[in-house]
Every structure is written in structure tokens, then in C-alpha cells.
Structure 1
Amino acid sequence: MTDPSASQEHGPDSREVVRNWAITGIFWILVLGALSLAQGVFVPIISAFVLALTFSPVRRVLEGFGIPSSAAAGMIMISLLIVFCVLFYFISEALQEYLIDAPTFAEEVRRELSGLFGTIEPVLKAGDQIDALTNQNKQQTVALREPGFVSVMTQATPAVVSQLVVTLTLSFFLMASGDMFYEKLVQVMPKLKDKRRALAAARTIENQLSTYLFTISAINATLGVIIGLVMWLAGMPNPLLFGLGAFLLNYIPYIGSIGGISITLVTGLVTFDSTIQAILPALLYWIINTIEGQFLTPVLVGRRLKLNAVVVFISFALWAWVWSFMGMLLSTPILLMAKVVSDNVNGLESFGKFLGDRDDLSGSDSRLLKFVFRQKDRSAAEEA
């Protein structure tokens, strides 16, 4: 007979471990479901906190000149509104021409792509003829046209504007309150050690977020200017739109650069008759973006933001699935905040180590890895 008390001393039952993992998995599934369903609430709140943390150092600099917190927050928000309005004006002016000529542009794109893939055109036509013959005797159905781009944008504009208003308003109140958040954080922590750790984590999040976003914005602005000039020299239509597009798309990890190159390639194919001249702008875009992504950004940002590249991509895919476009923009700031919190909370240090970039191994860990790989290589050699 086995003693139940003896088994409990050796550790938890395997069924208990499975049960705990199942409960944890269900909890995180429910959290992701709630975040996805209530994105109209969570996205403006998190965006407002990111903006407030980013511009808090600017607010403190203004306060150093004797400007009150509310006035400093107002100056920052007015500056942001001016920037948003200027960007919206230039983008709307540039897009207006493309929206007017959208049907003609789409037909030209279809014709150019069909010319590139002309070898499969007979196969496609044969498939269409077979479908037509098959569906001759079928009952006729009424097809409902899906809403076009303009109608979709018209329907989405009120929601976007309302979320933007909530984000900017909440950001203003957070910055106008000064350092009240830090004061409340100190008051709710029970021990002096916890107070210091919480303050250190909050200040680290603020410093890293502001440094990261300001640096990325400067890099993206430089990239946009260079792309606009290169598109102008290459003879592309409306190079200003390409420069603004490169500036905005580069905030989206991975997908932004691919989208910019693809749009440039399609526009070049429609604009120019020569294949080399049509592909050249997209090639130049790719070269400039590669130099920025592989050399400039790692040097300026990588030393401050040490995150696991695989985890960055997983975070991007996860938040893009949960919050679509805004999730793409917020994925890296959210991951950065999670890394700092994990590094400063007891029990989460291992998770923070996993989120970080590669570190130097200790002597024992290095010897263990060498021993394991040596054993695997020896077993593979014996099997061969």
C-alpha cells in the first residue's frame, strides 16, 4: 500500500500539473478573446498610455522651464495634432489622384500582370470556359456586390476618429497629471523594497519607450525623405506619397517594408514600358530598406532594445491577429513593457530572460550545452 502523504511530499500529482496547465491555458484564451472583442476599449487606452510614457520626458523638460504640467501637456498635444493634420493633408492630397483613377489603374495592373504571366493565360481561359459550360443549366442566383474601398472607409472613419479622440484626450490627462502615477505607485506598495523596484520598472519602461519611439521616428523620417528623393529621381509618379508611405509603413515590423516594395513594384510596372525601368524603383526601395533594417536600426536601436527577434515576430503576429492594424503598431511597445515588468517582478525573471536577446552563457550552462550536443553528434555518428 502506498502512503498518500508520502506521494504528496515527493511533489504534486501529474493530474494536478495537467489541471493547472489547462486552467492557465483557458485563462489566456479568455484574455485574448476579451481583448479581441473589446478592442474599441483597450486599443485607445493602451495607445494613450504609450503616448503618455513616450512624451513624459518632454513634459519634464518643459516643466524645468517653469511651465505647469497641464500647459506642457497641452503644448505636446497641440504639436501632435499639427503633425497628424499635416500628414493627413499631404496623404489625402496624394491619394485623391489615385482614388479618381482607381479603375483605370486597376485595369492597367491586371493587364501588366497578365502580360507577365501570359503563359498560364490559356489555362485560365480554358478553366473559365469549363465553368461557363458547367453552370449553364444551374439556377440563376443574385450576386450582391461587396462594398467598395470608399464605402468601407466611410463606414470606418467614425470609429477611427472616436478612438483617436479618446486616445489623445486620455493622453492629455495622463500627462497633465504630472508624476501622479508614480506617487500612486509608491503609495500602494507595502514595502520600501517593492516601492523602489516598482519605480525602477516604471522609469525604465518610460525611458526605453521614449528612446525607442523617438529613435524609430527619426529613422523613419530619414528613410521617407530618401525614398521620396529616389522615387523622384527614378521618375515615379507622386514621389511625395511614396516618401510618406515609407515613413508610415516602416512603423510596422516586417510587413511594412514588404508592402512598400510591392506597391512600388506594381506602380513601376504600370508607369513604365521598359521592364528594367519598371523594376528599378522597387529594387532601389529594397536596397535602401535593407541598409536601414540590417545596419542603421540595429546600431541605433538594438543596443537599447535587446529583444529576441523570434519573440518580436510572434508578438507582431499575435497582436496583428487580435487588433489588426493597431496591433501591428503596438506589438513592439507592448513586448518592451512586458520585458521590463518581467525583469523587475519576482518569479518572472525567467520569462524576461526568454524575451531578451542572446546573452553570454555561464560556464556551467556552456559546458552542459557542449556535452549535450557532443552526445547527439556521437549518437548520430553511431547510427550512420
Structure 2
Amino acid sequence: MADSLASPAGPPRTPSLAAAKRRPSTAAMLILAGLALIVAIKLAAPILLPVLTAALVALLLNPMVRGLSRRWLPRWLAALMVMSALGGVVGLAGWLSYEPARELADRSPQLAWQFKRKVEGMMHPLSPAERVEQALNTIETMGKSERERSRTVAVVEHPIGLGERYGGLLGGLAMGVSGIMLIYLLLVFGELLFRRIVTMAPTLADKRNTVSVVREIQSDVTRYVGTVTLVNLGLGAAVALALYGAGLENPLFWGVMAALLNYIPYLGPMLGAVLLVAVGVLQFDSAVEALTPAGIYLFLNMVESQLVTPLVLGRSFSLNPVVILVWLLFWGWLWGVPGLLLAMPLLVCTKIVAARSEMLQPFALMVER
């Protein structure tokens, strides 16, 4: 009777269900893995940045080195010739831009004050009486005695070691030399290293797929960056000529800046327009003349981005603007300005790899316009 009145026990919980509840979900594990990967990439920037930059430059120069090596030139000599030519071009651009950039940096506090005064003058023009009063105030300020304007300044000297004095310079020099050596070694021994990697694939199909993906990445990235470089050089030349016609000082420097900033879609042209507005305000008196350089720059950039680049690159490199902007913000947050410059080649490489993978194909479809 007691047995019959006892409440029936519920169905026993299967061990598999209990284990499933104890086991973390796949989505949580993927999120944690993604966050860990982002932190690792950010912390490894001093190593990854030179390696990725050298790999990208070697990828771009490899077709020229391969072409020269087929004409009975040793590969080491072909790589040396190509890198010497590239170094000459970069050195010439740096030499042309150094003096104007140094002058802007030295005069930046004075230029900021002049910019503020000129903007206030354009927005609120002074009457003749106010101009006279302002001039009198300036003369009175300049005529103050040295005693009234003097300030007591305490200077505390402490010994500076060699590490504090030259540590940053030596670190940057070492990184630059290491990057150049890595580019040269990749150009000379990159093909051999690639063949060794292919032999590690387990099956013949995997070997063929690896070769196909790497060749496609090299071809598309070389085509993309090479075409964008030629377009940017043309844009820089057009901007320099147009700004020279508009009467802006140092038009060659601003042409070089326009070519460099155009490697960063959307954000680069915006920064260039802001800088040209500031320079125009400093150099010219009227608002129309001050805004003319930025207007010329934006017009030429619009022609390049909406007509020239899509016509030259074609549909295969038409990418979603929203994805591009988010991608730029992400890599700029991770690595700063170098991240912004490397963002677009990395996006092209990621799109090519994603298009060949069944798991990552949704990302490739999302990136396309």
C-alpha cells in the first residue's frame, strides 16, 4: 500500500543531457576565441606589422623579380635591382616632402594661432574702429616691460641615459633594417619556401588547392595594389598641378600627401580636405579663395573614386562601403596608421581566401557590393 501511495519518481535525467548543459555553448567558445585572437594581434603588433608589411611588399615586387630572373639574371641580383629602384623612388618622394613637412611641424603653434585669428576675422569682420583698438592693444602688449612679463622658471636637470636619448631612434632603425632584409630574403627565397609549404599538404588535391589560392592571392593583390598605386600617383600629380594653378604654396608636397592619403578609403580624403581647408585659410584672405584648394581636391578625388578606379579595377574589386569603413576603423584601432594602410590589402586577401572556403563564403558575399 505504501508503495502504491508513493509518488512516482520522474524520468531519470540522462547523462548526455546533463553533460550537454555543463558543456559551454559553441557560440560562447567562438566569441572567447575571437576576443583572444584580437588581443593577441594587438599585443603582437611589433612583430606582425614588419612581417605583414614585408610580405605585402615582397608579394608586389615578386612578379618583377621573376620576370628579370627569367632573363638570365640571378634571382639575388634581380631582387637587388628591383629593391634599389623602389628605394630610389621612395627616397625621392621623402626628399621632396621633408622640407615642407618640417616647416609645418616647426611652425604649428604659430599657424594654429593664425588660423584661429583668420577664422574669427572671416566670421566676424572688424570695423575700422575695432581694428584700430586691436592694433593699440597689440602695441600696448608689446610695450610692456620685461619685468612685468617675466616669469620664474625652475629647471630641474637629471641625467639622461643612452637608452632614453637614442632608444626610440635605434629601435626604429633596427625595425626598418629588419624589414628591408626580410623583403629581400622573401624575394630571393620566397619561391623555395612556397614549394616546401606545398609539399606539406597531405593529398594531391590539397596541394593543387594551396597553389591555386596562393597564386590567386598574389595575382589579385598585386593587381589591386599596383593599380591603386598608379591611380594614386595620377591623382597626386593632378592635385599638385591644380593647386599650383590655384596659387597654393608647396603644391608638390600636397600632391604627395594626396597620393598617400588616398590609400585609406573615405578617411584619407576627409583628412586631406580638412588639412587643405586649414592651409587655404592661412594663406588666403577671402572665404572663397580659402575653400578653393579643398574644393579642387574633393572634386578630383570624387572623379577618381567614382569613375577612374571602378573603371580600371572592374567588378571583381567592388567592395561594400560599410564593410570597408568598419574594417578600416578596426585595423586603425588595432595598429594605428600602419593598420589603416594595410587594411585594404588584408581585406582583399581575406575575401579571396573566404571565397574558396565553404565555411567562410558568407563573409565573401557580405564583403562584395
TM-score bin, normalised by smaller chain: 0.7 to 0.9
Question: Residues 34 and 290 (structure 1 numbering): CA distance in 2 closer, same or farther, change over 3 Å?
Answer: same
Does structure 1 residue 183 correspond to structure 2 residue 195?
yes
Does structure 1 residue 35 correspond to structure 2 residue 47?
no
- Distance in 2 between the 1:160 and 1:237 partners? 32
- Distance in 1 between the 2:22 and 2:16 partners? 17
Partner of 1:237: 249
The Cα shift of 1:345 comes to 3.2
SS of residue in 2 equivalent to 1:177: helix
Partner of 1:260: 272
SS of residue in 1 equivalent to 2:359: coil
SS of residue in 2 equivalent to 1:107: helix
Question: Residues 267 and 155 (structure 1 numbering): CA distance in 2 closer, same or farther, change over 3 Å?
Answer: farther
AA aligned opposite 1:183:
R
2:50·2:179 contact (CA, 8 Å) conserved in 1?
Answer: yes
Calculate the TM-score normalised by the size of structure 1: 0.77
2:310·2:318 contact (CA, 8 Å) conserved in 1?
Answer: no
Question: Residues 159 and 261 (structure 1 numbering): CA distance in 2 closer, same or farther, change over 3 Å?
Answer: farther
Question: Residues 237 and 224 (structure 1 numbering): CA distance in 2 closer, same or farther, change over 3 Å?
Answer: same
The Cα shift of 1:273 comes to 0.9
Specify every segment of 5 or more residues in structure 2 that has no aligned partner in the other structure, as ranges: 1-10, 126-153, 155-165
1:208·1:304 contact (CA, 8 Å) conserved in 2?
Answer: no
- Distance in 2 between the 1:258 and 1:303 partners? 25
- Distance in 1 between the 2:22 and 2:265 partners? 41
Question: Residues 156 and 221 (structure 1 numbering): CA distance in 2 closer, same or farther, change over 3 Å?
Answer: farther
AA aligned opposite 2:216:
T
The Cα shift of 1:99 comes to 3.4
Does structure 1 residue 298 correspond to structure 2 residue 310?
yes
Partner of 1:146: none
Does structure 1 residue 207 correspond to structure 2 residue 213?
no
AA aligned opposite 1:190:
P
- Distance in 1 between the 2:98 and 2:366 partners? 43
SS of residue in 2 equivalent to 1:252: coil
Identity of aligned residues (%): 28
Calculate the TM-score normalised by the size of structure 2: 0.80
- Residue-pair matches, total: 321
AA aligned opposite 1:51:
V
1:185·1:195 contact (CA, 8 Å) conserved in 2?
Answer: no
- Distance in 2 between the 1:161 and 1:118 partners? 49
Report 1:1-384 matches (<5 A): 1=11, 4=14, 19-116=25-122, 157-355=169-367, 357-358=368-369
SS of residue in 2 equivalent to 1:179: helix
The Cα shift of 1:346 comes to 4.5
Question: Residues 92 and 155 (structure 1 numbering): CA distance in 2 closer, same or farther, change over 3 Å?
Answer: farther
- Distance in 2 between the 1:254 and 1:155 partners? 35
1:268·1:279 contact (CA, 8 Å) conserved in 2?
Answer: yes
SS of residue in 2 equivalent to 1:189: coil
Give RMSD over aligned pairs.
2.5
- Distance in 1 between the 2:193 and 2:12 partners? 55
Question: Residues 175 and 38 (structure 1 numbering): CA distance in 2 closer, same or farther, change over 3 Å?
Answer: same
The Cα shift of 1:103 comes to 3.3
Q: Deviations over 1:156-203 (max 9, x none)?
A: 654443333222211110110151133123201011111111111000
1:94·1:240 contact (CA, 8 Å) conserved in 2?
Answer: no
AA aligned opposite 2:253:
L
Q: Deviations over 1:252-299 (max 9, x none)?
A: 121110111111111111111111111111111111111111111122
Q: Deviations over 1:198-251 (max 9, x none)?
A: 111000110011111110110010001110011111011111111111111111
1:69·1:178 contact (CA, 8 Å) conserved in 2?
Answer: no
- Distance in 1 between the 2:351 and 2:21 partners? 31
Q: Deviations over 1:301-324 (max 9, x none)?
A: 243424333222221111100000
The Cα shift of 1:6 comes to 9.1
SS of residue in 2 equivalent to 1:190: coil
